[in-house]
Every structure is written in structure tokens, then in C-alpha cells.
A and B are shown apart, each in its own frame.
Chain A
Amino acid sequence: MKIKPAWLIAITLLFTSFSAVSDPELLKPYRGHLNPPELSLHDMQGKPHSLSDYKGNIVLVQFWATYCTPCRKEMPSMNRLIEKMGDKPFKIIGIDMAESPQTVQKFLDEVPVSFPVLLDTEGSTIGAWKVFAAPANFILDKQGNIIYTLYGAVEWDAEAMVEKLSALTEQ
């Protein structure tokens, strides 16, 4: 069977567009002025968390919400990313965007995660970090400064992304 060139181009474009969602180049170097941002919130179990607890790690801080469909889709890939990063100094913090603990728990029962989910019930951290879309992702260096941002869902455990994040942990 012969495949017409037009079809080949279409198939190539299709695969290119799908692979783009896991492209680590989507991480944008941060040029804003939020360094170091404030973060002092409680997780679902009531345990307090602050950024200083995570110093020495590359940290992915993700702002998300239960109504955000892309957030729901990409969360399993964040669990797999943690597995793939193994013992490397890398952590993920999820911050729910001002929903009730009951709403968040219901979601987490359906989509379990292997990282702490913090509650920003008043939205003060959302405002301080200037988050106006979800999922909104920040990559922090080992000193707690924002080095990259990314808006939208990606396959976090894609090979290229794991390589990029692994390289950051070695800096």
C-alpha cells in the first residue's frame, strides 16, 4: 500500500502537535519580580508548609483547581514524574485555588496524588503569586527562586521533561 505524501505530512504534523505538550521548551524562563515568593499554607491533613521546608530541592509548585479539566488529566503524569525522579532532590507542591477542603478531598479520592496538596482557601497566595489561569506551574531552584513558569497541562513524565528537571537538580 502506498501512502500519499499529503497523508504523510498530515500524520507527521499530528504527531508533532501531540509531542509538543511534553516539550520541556514550554518551560519559560521567569522574568518577573516575585523572588522569593511567599508561601505558608496547610495541607489536607492540617500540616503547615512553607517554602523554607523545601530549600535544597528543585520544586514544582502547581496552582490547580478541581474544575480545571487539564489539571485532572495531567495529575497522574505528576505522580509518575515523582517516581521517575527517584532520590533526586525534587519535590512537587500542589496548591488548590480557594476551594473547600471537602471539594478538594472528593477530587483527590478520584485522582489520588503522591505530593502534598495545600489549601489556599482565602486566595491570598494565588494573589501574591499572580496566578490568573490554571494549571499555573512554577519551577523553583534550590534557593526557592522561580526559574521557570509554564501555563497549561503537559505530560510531566515525558522523557525530555524528566531529563530537563534532572539536570536542574544537578546544578
Chain B
Amino acid sequence: MPTIRLFGILACILSISLFTTVSADIGNSLILEDDIEIDIVTIGKPASTGVIWLACNQGNASVEIDTAKKLSSSGYQFYFPDMLSAHFLAPTPSNIDMVPAAEVIKVIQHLASHSEAQRIYIIAAARAAVPVLKALADPAIQNSAKLKAVLLITPRINKKSPEPGSEPEYIDAAGQSIHPVRVLEGERTPNRWGLPHLKSVLSRSGSPVQTDIIPGVRGFFYLRADKTPQEISMTGQLDQLIHFNLQKLGDLQP
């Protein structure tokens, strides 16, 4: 049994070292002024396109990491900043919106200035869209030449519980971005009916916004423990879904 365990550990280390590149410039962590250390996992070799993926379950983001590994041979380098561990928060989707936007801003600035990528995209899913949109509202991020656009996957940015008969209320930062945004929503979630309103809110400050439906899945499908066969299938195709939508984002101009 201990031999099997040791073999497993060695296999994990080998697997991580095969796919994880720690760039000397990017480093594997970022230490902020107040001694908060944010670990950054980099997947793939330096590439023309860098993708910052703010996983709402970072620390337990195996699907996202696997997806990044699949895409690393397609001209992408991925960066996974672990904003949750820095604050001793459990890797649960509800904790991510407690991360201060100022820290996300510093991470984006750090990665944008140290990455060899010519263009940077951000991906955020579910509640991780909250700190990302707050960061995008900041002028320092809006002036970043490298940051090109944002892909939000089944974003959950409500300010409070929805009230039947009223439009959803989103966080204030939702209408303060100028970067192109593409929103993907599951077909099997009531949130899909809010997409026209979400699009109008997100575009208030000039962001070009596109929305699309992912057929046959519920919200944050790839994070669910009770995936349906269709959701398992779509999770297996997450790399293609992201590749396709990042290309679509490339066509969007602010």
C-alpha cells in the first residue's frame, strides 16, 4: 500500500512538472505589500496569448487545470492565481467574491507586465466574475494595453437574491467595464432568461458584449458533483468551448 501511495505521489509530481512552467519573470507567487502571498500556477510555455483564469474553486480546480493543459499546445499560456488560499478561504465558489478587487488588480497588472504574451484574456466562472468585474472597473486595468477581453462562464453577479417580477440587480461594477466581454450561460438554468438584461448592464460603459447559450447544461456545470451525462460530455469538451470563445473574443473590438 505505501509503495502504491509513493508511486501515486511521484506520478502527480511528474504530471505537474510536465505541464507546469514556472516562468522566471512571472514567478510562482506574488507577494503584495501587506505580506499576502498569492500563489500562481502557470500552465504551458510562454505563448502569444496569455489567459488569467480566476477559478472560483482554486485549490480544487482540477477541471480548469486539465482544460488548460489541453489548450497549452494551442498557443495559450494559462495563469491560475490562487486568491483563496492567500486569505485562508476554502475553495468554494461562494468564497471567491470575498477576495478584494485590489488584489485581483495587482495580480492582473503583475501578469500583464511580466508575461511574454502579446495579449491577455481573463476567464471567470460563477461568482468569480464578481472580483473580476470589480477589477475591470479600475482605471489602471482599463488602461492596460495587453488585457484584451474577458470570458464569463455562467457568471453569478447578483447583488441580492432575485425577486420574481423584477429585473435582477447586479453588483455596481457590472456596468463599469470597457473591455469586450463574452458571456456563456447554460441552457438549463433560469439565468439564461436574464441574458438580455445582463448584456445591457455590462455594456453601459462601452464594453462590447456578446452572449451565448451552452446547450443542455445547467449553470457552472463543470463544477457540479451531480453532473448529467450531457454535462459530463460538455466538461470533456471545455477546452474546445474555451478555445472557440476566446477566438470569438478576439474578433470583438472595444
Contact = CB atoms under 8 A, between A and B. Distances in A.
A138 to B, nearest CB: 6
Interface stretch (A8-16, A106-114, A124-132, A154-162): A124-132
A67 B217 CA distance: 10
Interface stretch (B71-79, B85-93, B135-143, B160-168): B160-168
Contacts of B167: 130, 132
A146 interface: yes
A126 B162 CA distance: 14
Contacts of B168: 132
A97 B189 CA distance: 9
Chief secondary structure at chain B's binding surface: loop
A150 B193 contact: no
Contacts of A138: 164-165
B179 interface: no
Contacts of A32: 163, 165-166
Nearest to A66: B188
Instruction: Among B161, B164, B165, B166, find the residue whose CB has the most chain A CB atoms closer than 10 A.
Output: B164
B190 interface: yes
Nearest to B228: A67
A63 B188 contact: no
Nearest to A150: B164
A67 B218 contact: yes
Nearest to B168: A132
Contact of B164 (A97, A123, A133): A133
Contacts of A131: 164-165, 190, 193
Contacts of A123: 193
A130 B164 contact: yes
Interface in B142-176: 161-168
Contacts of A30: 165
Given A32-B166, A130-B164, A130-B167, A65 B188 contact: yes
Given A123-B193, A126-B193, A131-B193, A136 B164 contact: yes
Interface in B185-199: 188-191, 193-194, 197
Contacts of B163: 28, 32, 149, 151
Nearest to B165: A32
Contacts of A146: 165
B188 A132 contact: no
A29 B126 CA distance: 30
Contacts of B191: 132-133
Contacts of B165: 30, 32, 34, 37, 129-131, 138, 146, 149
A142 B80 CA distance: 56
Given A28-B163, A133-B161, A149-B165, 17 more contacts: A32-B163, A32-B165, A34-B165, A37-B165, A65-B188, A67-B189, A67-B218, A97-B190, A123-B193, A131-B193, A132-B162, A132-B168, A132-B194, A134-B190, A136-B162, A149-B163, A152-B161
29 contacts: A30-B165, A32-B163, A32-B165, A63-B164, A67-B188, A68-B190, A97-B190, A97-B193, A123-B193, A126-B190, A126-B193, A130-B164, A130-B165, A130-B166, A130-B167, A131-B190, A131-B193, A132-B162, A132-B167, A132-B168, A133-B164, A133-B190, A133-B191, A136-B162, A136-B164, A137-B164, A149-B165, A150-B164, A152-B161
Interface of A: 28, 30, 32, 34, 37, 63, 65, 67-68, 97, 123, 126-127, 129-134, 136-138, 146, 149-152
Interface of B: 161-168, 188-191, 193-194, 197, 218
